[in-house]
Structures are given as C-alpha cells and as structure tokens.
Structure 1
C-alpha cells in the first residue's frame, strides 16, 4: 500500500469536507439504487405468477437456493445491532457470541430443519401445535414473538442503524431522520416482494457488507500498526471474561449453548429463512454456508474495530464503530459502506417485518378474525401498521448504555421459557398445551424477578445484589437462563400430571433403548 493511499485512508479528521460529503452521498444513492434494481430483476415476475398463499408470501414459495438462504440467515443476524453493539463494547470477549453461534447453526441444520420440513411448517409455532394436546401454546408463544419483534427488535434495528449512519457521517441530525426512510423502504420490500425479495436483498447487500467490513478490520489494524494490545486494558483484549464482564468465562459452559439453540433453531426470524428451500438438503447447505461465515468472518468484524476505537478515541460505547469507519475509510468508500449498511438495516428490518406479519396472519388473523383469502393484501396492511409503531419506538432506545447487552438481557425474558416449551413438546408426548403455557409463564416471571429485583444492586440490599449477599457474586444472567430453562420444563411436566392428569412419556434420544 503506497504512503499516499495510507494518508488518504488514515485521514485524522473523521468529519468529511464538503466535496467529500457530496461524493459520499452520490455513492450512497448509487449503491442503494443498484441493490434495489438488482433485487427487482431477480424477483420480478407478472402479478399473475404470484399466488395468494402464506407460503408464497412468507416462504418465497419454497424456491430459494442455498446461497440465498445463507445470505438471508447471515444478514438477518448481522445488522447494525451486531456491528454497532458488539464493537460498542470495545472488547474482544464479545466474539464468543458469534463463535458459539456455529454450534447453534449446526443444531438448526441437522436437528430442527428436518423436523420443520417433515411437519410442513410455515411458522415455528405450528410445530408446537402439532406436538401438544391443544393449540393454546401456539397462540401464547406467537404473541410473545410478535410483541418482541414490535417492541424490541424492529425499533432496535432502526435505532442502531440510524446511530451508525449519524456517527459515520458526523452529523447532529435526529435519529428519526435516518430511521424513517429505512423503515419505509423496508416495508416496501416486504409488501412488494415478500420474503423472496428480502432474501435476495440480504444476499446482495451482505456480500458487500462483509467485504468492506473485513477491509475496515485490516485498515483499523493498520491505523494502530497492527498492535492491538499495547495501551489497552487487559480485560478488553482477553477472551477469558471475569465475573463482572459481559460474558464471564464459565457461562460458555452453562447457558450459552441454550441461548444459541433458541436463537438459531426456534426463533421465527431466523428459522423462517431455513424453510424457504425446495428440500431439506438444500436448506442444510444454506445453513452450513451461514455457519462457515459465522465462524470464519464474523468474529473479527464485530470486535476488532471496537478495540481499535478504544485505542484511538477512548471509550465511546455504541458510537465507536461509526467513528472508526469514518476514520479509516476514504470518503467515497465511506459512502459505499454507509449505503451497504443502510441496505443491511433495511433487509434486516424487512426480514423481521415479514416474520411478524407471518405470525400475525397465520396465528391470529386466520384463526381469530377471519380466513385470509389474500395474504399479499393482508401483509401490506400489517406491514404499514407495524412500520409506524416501530418508528415511534426508536427514541426509546436512545438511553441504552449498550444496545447489544440490552438486547441479550431482554432476550432472557422470553428465550428460555419459549425453549422450554419446545423441549417439553419434542422430548415428551401426552403433554397438555395448557401445562406448557404454565411452564412458560413461570419462566417469564422467574427471569423477570431475577432481572429487575435479584440482579439489581440496592433493590433488596444496599449496594449489593441478592446473589452477592448470599455468597454467589459470580452468578450471571446467562447462568440464570439455565436454571429458568430447566425449572420451566419441570413446572410444565408437573402441571401436566398434577393439574391435567396426564402422564407424559419421554420419546427423546435413548428412549427406545430403555423400553
């Protein structure tokens, strides 16, 4: 790399000059239009070629190949919450979320994908209805997923994307100025092309995002002479987390795996993408490709720029990644990356929006309002309403200290209780759906008590958490997730026997050999 190029890349002033800003905007608009046109050319077809079924709208008609499945799974996960939030911690330790995700994807591909295809599912909640005696568990879990998407994940995606763009361009505009256009475009993709358009856009923008994100890693390391460790506190470059860190090391062997199983294998936003292939084998190829990207590429891009940001600018929290990108990339390339990141936010938002509409249409409207005759029309109305509510909630996230840590902790309210319903339903038969609901509600309440009372200093004891008071200072929310999961399953099975008079029978691994 020549010295002149290096001086251009490592310009000390992160705020572009007027001419550079014009170039950024021009590149931004050009790439945004290019991705939109490429997506339209791939998914276009006469209106008469689209049927009105839920499978056409929500599963792309079962026509996607492994490449688009891998791209969609990757970008549904890797949006600005990860790039902004994980780099915002400015610690290498956060890479464990991505490394552990490899195991979660393996379980999705080889355990859950065959089950979903065998049961011809469009939503993950359909599987639960078939496994339990009664449909109440499907309705309750669908409501939890839907509320989580509307109240947390959609506005969080728009917030983190807006924060990134605001930080990178160095402007003092309100976040809603960025959030509204991205939300509207995301809704248009969902309304006009369904999940197929979302998956195609995911793949096109994902290739660009990963390429430039890797370039940011290289240039960020170059900016500190490839010396990531000197002058940085040891806890920020260690992969062995202390008990006070976001990921204490022992939690890798307690709750981490179960969090990954929930996220990759039972979460509608992710698993829906794996159900879009024409066959189980094609779906598994897509999942395997996503797993390879997860372990080879993603860890570096979600932590190294954050640590470099700490070394260059000090603690900056969630604003760190945008500042680093603006610092190391030349102006025109910053505009390109901004366009690709905006496309990633739009695709990520569209994916969550599409899964939200699927849950509402199939689990609520079709069951409790009236039979859906045209899923495309219903998807349009629901997408518009959900988009407006998501935009309205974006300002609520501005007070978050760390967007990724906030999301992980909020996940605990629903993730382990929901996973308990899948475990009880898949490993046992003759379980009443109402018993599973009791176990699930217990799990939500138990984790809420942990998060808002026992884990908060000063709630019960001055300047101490309850766990510190009883001699368990190491107990972390990831540890508590395991206890919530196990106890939720036990509560469900106990309620099934004691309240509903059913004797559950274990049918999981090893059941046949014990007969």
Structure 2
C-alpha cells in the first residue's frame, strides 16, 4: 500500500470534515424542520451542489465507467438527458411543491388521493431505499476502495470478506454523519464535494491520457480518438445498455420521476430559501451534469486502451486511478469517491427518517389522539435511520452476485418503484376527479406487470420501453376508473407557501443554453464527429 495515497486521502477528508464542522458549528437540530429541511434556508449553490452530488455517487461513478468500458458512451444518456427533465421539474413542479408548502412528495399524494395513498407510497419509497439505493451505494463504494487501496491483497483476505468490512465501515460513518448533521450538513458537504468532483473530473482523464501516451497527453488523446472509436458512440444500438430510442420513452419518464418525485432528491430543493434559489440551483446542477462525463464515462473510455479482458469490469475506475494517478492525486480522488458514497447514503437516510416520521409515525400517533413533541419526533427519526442503515449494510454485499452489470441491475430494480409512482403523480397533476381507487389499482397493476416482464416472461423488449408502455396503459386504466367512479368533489389545491414563490426571471435564457449544450453533447459523441 502506498502510504502517500493514504496520507493524501486523510488530508482531503480532514479538510472536508473541518470545513463542514466550521459551517455547522452553530447549527442546532432542535426541530424537525431543521433536521429534515435545513429550516428552508439553502442558497442556490447549496441546492445545486446538493442535487448534483447526491445524484453523482459511487454507484454512478463505478457503474457508468464499467459500461463505458464494456460497451460505449450510450450510458452517458442517463446523466445528459437529465437536463431536460430537471428543467421541466424546475418550471412546473417546483413552483407547485413550494406553493403547497410540502416536506415530502407523498404529502402531495396525501392531499390529492387521501392519507392512505400517502402512507402507501412512503412505504414503497422506504422499501426502495432499503433494498436498492442504500445497498448499491455502499457496495459500489466498497468496490471502489478495495480497487484503490488493494485491501484484499495487503491483508491477504478474500474479496467477499473485505467487501463486507468496507461496507460496514462506510455505513457506520455515514449513519453518524446523517444523524448528527441533518440536511444542512448533507447540503454543505455535497457542495464542497461538488467542487472537488469538477477538479477530479479533469485530473484523472489528464493523467490517464498521459499514461496511455507514454508521457504525452496529445499522443494518448490521439489513441483514444482513433482506436476503438466504436466506444465513443453515444447513439446506442439495440444491443447496447441504452438504445437511443429509449431516450424518448422510458428514460424520460425515469428522469422526470427521479428529479421531480424521488424524495431524497426533491428534499434538497424543498429546503431552498425561495423558488428563485431552487430554480437557480437546478440550473447549476444541470451544468454539472453536462460536464460529469469527464468523471463518469471518459475514464472508462481510456481504460479500454489500457486494460484488456478485465475479470471484474466493475473495478475499472479504481484500478485506472491507482495505476495512472500520482499518489497525492490518487488520495484526492479516493476522498471524492468516499464522499460520493456517503453523500447519497446520508441523503437517503435523512429522507428515510423524514418519510417515516412525517408520513407514518406522526399521523399514527395523531390518529390515537397522542401529542408528539419535536424532541420525540427527532429521537424517533434517528432510531429509524439506524434500523434502515443496519438493514442496508446486511443487504449490500449480496449485490456481488448480480448479472448483466451492476449499474443495469440498479436501474432495472428501480423500475419497480420509480415510474409507477410517477404515473399516479402525473394523473394527479393532470386531473381533478380521478379517485384514490384509480391510484391504488394503477400502482398495483404497474408494479405486478413490470415484475412479470422482468422475472417471469422475457419479452425481448428493453426495460425502459416496457416502462413507457406500462405508463401509457396505466394512465388509461386510471382515466377509465376516474370516468366511471369520479370524486364527488373535485380536488382543490390548498396553498400554504412557506417561502417566496417569485420565479427566476432569467430561467428561460439559461434553460435554452443548457438544452443546446445537451444536444451538442450527443452530436459530439456520435458517428458524425468522434465515433466515425
């Protein structure tokens, strides 16, 4: 083990920890609002940094580089097309959420369909976090750290045992941070790490190109651009993980769900001080997504020319970093990876506590005419977060047995939760008389049918296309039920805005620029230019 790498890692983690402590030293978590919503006081930079780095975690860094190495740049569509979805959310959903003054997205479903639906979706969110989001982040973080520091070789311990140990170390640290710091701590660390990821995103490709070119960055770049150019293509075929046609079907729906409905993401924006800061923050995150391929995809492209026939392509990113980066920089990138794992993990834990306390525990206590103090709610939330953390740490190591690529597995499992929830939200937004019965039937139909297509019947149709087909069919079912059994009294929005809801005046100009850049990215990585 290179002790300079360890020293560099500890140095940068120390800087991050000190900066977070300094910003939070007067922050007291005495209310639920301060624990979960940072007292609705986040500026646009904290909103943007929180959104970006909660999204860019070890699962995306490890998973997308794996697919860039084994296939091509088509996987970058997950991040690049997020820009369109985020701008739609910024323009239409965030003004609505802030006008309603909600703290969780199930709060909207409670208002629209009744308390039963809000509880049901909260439970679905929690199941998703426990079996998919949190374990996948811990597992990918453990894989990255073993690849960077070679713990299994140094300690002469089998790979399975080391993964278990690293998962439990990271999970314990993340749990303590989320419980002690709350949403403000998560937002601040996300922003600091967001700045770090931009620098790291530039450094690693530079060192990798220099290594590939035997000391010449230009020679390394020439090799990448002229050899195995099929890897540079972002226009995916039917045999690729992301066929280009899916960008216009299921991927759009998944991204709209993720940026507009996913609790641990939306909670970052709901904590903003006003609508203007939330929209500016989303624009900052959009720009970050456009340059994120430097860290998420380009290292995988370069690794194609350095490693051949890797036994475990999941390790392509950490092995490349440990091979090409100077020890000081390798430690710096290791610190980024460590932070990337913890920020998403922390946000997921915080949102789990939010959903449980505000949508399940508190309503249950009130139903039995019990008064619950702020102190008791905070205490209950922290206990629940510990339980969720333990469950995720037990599940995470078993992801090692999945097939068809780690990142593809994560996205397929997400399909059980994301678009079904977005569908009932969408019908709720668009109609006034569709009842709770339609939402329950639609949710059950979608989840069961999708499960059958993934676990029982092989339709030979990409899962994103299946999600789009089921979205259309489920919407139709809900509209028919709404026609036959409409709500006696149409739904009326009750406004309760807790912050200023004046929109950002320049948002349309910047939205146009961001959309043009998004399209140019696909043109650049296509047979028209780089993938000739």
| Partner residue in 1 for 2:253 | 258
Given candidates 287, 301, 312, the residue that maps to 2:295 is 301
Q: Determine the C-alpha separation between the residues in 2 that align with 1:340 and 1:483.
A: 39
Q: In the TM superposition, what are the counterparts of 1:84-123 in structure 2 within 5 Å? A: 84-89=62-67, 90=69, 91-123=72-104
2:414 equivalent to 1:411: yes
**Cα displacement (A) at 1:357:** 0.8
**Cα displacement (A) at 1:299:** 2.2
Given candidates 266, 286, 290, the residue that maps to 2:285 is 290
**Cα displacement (A) at 1:218:** 2.2
2:30 equivalent to 1:51: yes
Q: Deviations over 1:17-40 (max 9, x none)?
A: x5xx21111222222222112111
| Partner residue in 1 for 2:445 | 442
Secondary structure at the residue paired with 1:398? helix
Q: Determine the C-alpha separation between the residues in 2 that align with 1:248 and 1:344.
A: 28
| Partner residue in 2 for 1:496 | 482
| Partner residue in 1 for 2:400 | 398
Q: In the TM superposition, what are the counterparts of 1:306-317 in structure 2 within 5 Å? A: 306-316=300-310, 317=313
Q: In the TM superposition, what are the counterparts of 1:91-170 in structure 2 within 5 Å? A: 91-132=72-113, 134-170=114-150
Given candidates 421, 426, 429, the residue that maps to 2:424 is 421
Q: Determine the C-alpha separation between the residues in 2 that align with 1:156 and 1:372.
A: 34
Q: Determine the C-alpha separation between the residues in 2 that align with 1:116 and 1:346.
A: 27
- With the length of structure 1 as denominator, give the TM-score of the two structures: 0.86
C-alpha RMSD of matched pairs (Å): 2.0
Q: Deviations over 1:42-79 (max 9, x none)?
A: 012264xx432x32211101111111111110111001
2:48 equivalent to 1:75: no
Moved more, 213-222 or 142-151: 213-222
- Given that 2:8 and 2:327 are in contact with CA atoms closer than 8 Å, whether structure 1 keeps it comes out as no
| Partner residue in 2 for 1:472 | none
Moved more, 253-262 or 112-121: 253-262
| Partner residue in 2 for 1:274 | 269
User: Which blocks of at least 5 consecutive residues in structure 2 are unaligned?
Assistant: 213-219, 493-532
Q: Determine the C-alpha separation between the residues in 1 that align with 2:210 and 2:95.
A: 45
2:44 equivalent to 1:66: yes
CA 1:361/1:505 → structure 2, altered by over 3 Å: closer, same or farther? Answer: closer
- Given that 1:128 and 1:138 are in contact with CA atoms closer than 8 Å, whether structure 2 keeps it comes out as yes
Q: Determine the C-alpha separation between the residues in 2 that align with 1:241 and 1:506.
A: 43
2:455 equivalent to 1:452: yes
Paired residues in the alignment total 465
| Partner residue in 1 for 2:13 | 32
**Cα displacement (A) at 1:190:** 1.3
- Given that 2:74 and 2:243 are in contact with CA atoms closer than 8 Å, whether structure 1 keeps it comes out as no
Given candidates 351, 364, 370, the residue that maps to 2:360 is 364
| Partner residue in 2 for 1:185 | 173
- Given that 2:45 and 2:281 are in contact with CA atoms closer than 8 Å, whether structure 1 keeps it comes out as yes
| Partner residue in 1 for 2:464 | 478
Q: Determine the C-alpha separation between the residues in 1 that align with 2:142 and 2:51.
A: 22
Secondary structure at the residue paired with 1:364? helix
2:244 equivalent to 1:249: yes
User: Which blocks of at least 5 consecutive residues in structure 1 are unaligned?
Assistant: 1-17, 456-465, 468-474, 508-515
- Given that 1:165 and 1:322 are in contact with CA atoms closer than 8 Å, whether structure 2 keeps it comes out as yes
**Cα displacement (A) at 1:229:** 4.3
Q: Determine the C-alpha separation between the residues in 2 that align with 1:300 and 1:74.
A: 14
Secondary structure at the residue paired with 2:151? coil
Q: Determine the C-alpha separation between the residues in 2 that align with 1:362 and 1:502.
A: 26
Q: Determine the C-alpha separation between the residues in 1 that align with 2:298 and 2:400.
A: 24
Q: Determine the C-alpha separation between the residues in 2 that align with 1:204 and 1:252.
A: 31
| Partner residue in 2 for 1:512 | none
